[in-house]
Amino acid sequence: SNNNNNRRSRTNNRGGRSIVTCIFAFFLISFLVFCFMSVKIAVETTYSAEKQVSDTVTGATHSFLTILLPSVVNPRGRLERLKAIADTWGPSANAVFVVHADESIPSLLSWGNTNYYSSEEESSSNYNDKGPISYPALLRVPSDITVEHGVERLIHVMKTIVEAGPPDFIFFANDHTFVIPEHLCLFLQDLDPEDDIYRGHALGESNRLKYGFNSGASGYVLSKNTLRKLVAALDAKKPKCTSDGSGCLAGNPGILTAACLGDTLETPPIDTRNSDGEHLFHAFGLARVVSGQVDQWYINKHKNLYFLKNGDTIDDHLPHGEHCCGARSISFHYVEYSETRQLFAARNHVAEAASLGHPLSDKRIGRWLDDNWPEKKKLGFYAHGVPPSGTEERRQFISVLRKISNGRDKLPLQCRKLV
């Protein structure tokens, strides 16, 4: 009996120790899991914070506007061009349409803004103290500035922006320009708005301008610091900063701006090609810059650039084919409303398939282009259509389209938001 009691006692003791051991092991494992999860969460939080900081630092947080002046080409198609821009890239580029007093654009477009930083009593509900609530917006010039007053119009626009408090950068173009907002954002990210900046597609003009000028067709960027200095110089009518008289500066806003910036303010245009020698700002449409079939005057303007180096050729500064355009190209010109819509759609079509891990073949892109690209009569006089199927030009066109469409996931966060 005593032996049985002893055995039961030992069994109970072992059972008790087992329970204690199990409880200890449970708490030990729980503690270790807690420690592991705490470290994991801390690491993930740190990584997330670092990524956010990285995205912010490299993410082009600069503010910018895209000012679109009226194009002198096909004025009858202007309303359709503005509608197409408003429906595609305009909102992301913070587009501001410069309009004349007699244009009835606000009542014909679906978006409601009727003025930009206006002191006039119109559409006040669409504005706060920092400007338009949404884009595109309109900047209406006074009635005494007509379409023939290109210089006066540009000066009025610049003064309006300065008086309202300019954003960090302003991109000037016209309503025939197609803009890729996320690439413009990327281009601006490493620039300082307090620096003297006048960037675009440089052209030579040795007979009239020491440093040449940036193409107004492809558009050009001014920093807010440069814009303020330019407006002050124009107001003071400093040398090369007045259109008075009948000289080369009279009536030509692009030449006047370049002369004042380059010769007086010492802010000339510079070479903005990428490291592969490919342009980012283009004064013709995609088909023409790929084929190299551009106007002779445009070719000539690349022969006397002040920054040409010994041994440089015209092909170096005006490449065509697959090297015509940088992957982060910003603008194309002579793009009518129908091409605006389809180029915008084509880039999205190519990019979305690639982002899903199913990049489109040349054949599938070609089929899409055949089904959707506008026919010649809807492209406008200065534009060319997609090259014929089966040609080397067609392959190059598709290659460049793919190049300027893909890689959105590699953009800084602030630029990705503009896609």
Alpha helices in 58-143 (DSSP H): 78-87, 105-108
Residue at token pair 């920093």: 223
| pTM summary value | 0.81
The residues, any chain, with a CB within 8 Å of residue 134's CB and separated by 6 or more, are 91, 111, 113, 126
Digit-by-digit pLDDT tens for the chain (419 residues) are: 545 555 455 555 555 556 656 566 666 666 555 555 543 333 333 223 222 223 333 334 689 999 999 999 999 999 999 999 999 999 999 999 999 988 877 544 444 444 454 434 444 444 444 555 578 888 889 999 998 899 999 999 999 999 988 999 999 999 999 999 999 999 999 999 999 999 999 998 766 788 999 999 999 999 999 999 999 999 999 998 987 654 444 568 989 999 999 999 999 999 999 999 999 999 999 999 999 999 999 999 998 888 877 677 777 788 999 999 999 999 999 999 999 999 999 999 999 999 999 999 999 999 999 999 998 888 988 999 999 999 999 999 999 999 999 999 999 999 999 99
Question: Any idea what DSSP says for residue 408?
Answer: G
Two tokens at 290? 């790929």
The rounded distance, in Å, linking the Cα atoms of 314 and 80 is: 36
Two tokens at 389? 């199927």
Q: Are 186 and 328 in contact (CB under 8 A)?
A: yes
The rounded distance, in Å, linking the Cα atoms of 170 and 69 is: 13
Main-chain dihedrals φ then ψ at residue 374, nearest 5 degrees? -65, 150
The rounded distance, in Å, linking the Cα atoms of 121 and 276 is: 51
Cα–Cα distances (Å) from 101 to 107, 112, 129, 285, in that order, read: 13, 17, 23, 30
The arrangement of strands across the sheet holding 220-223 comes to: 137-140, 95-99, 64-69, 169-174, 220-223, 198-199
The rounded distance, in Å, linking the Cα atoms of 28 and 288 is: 71
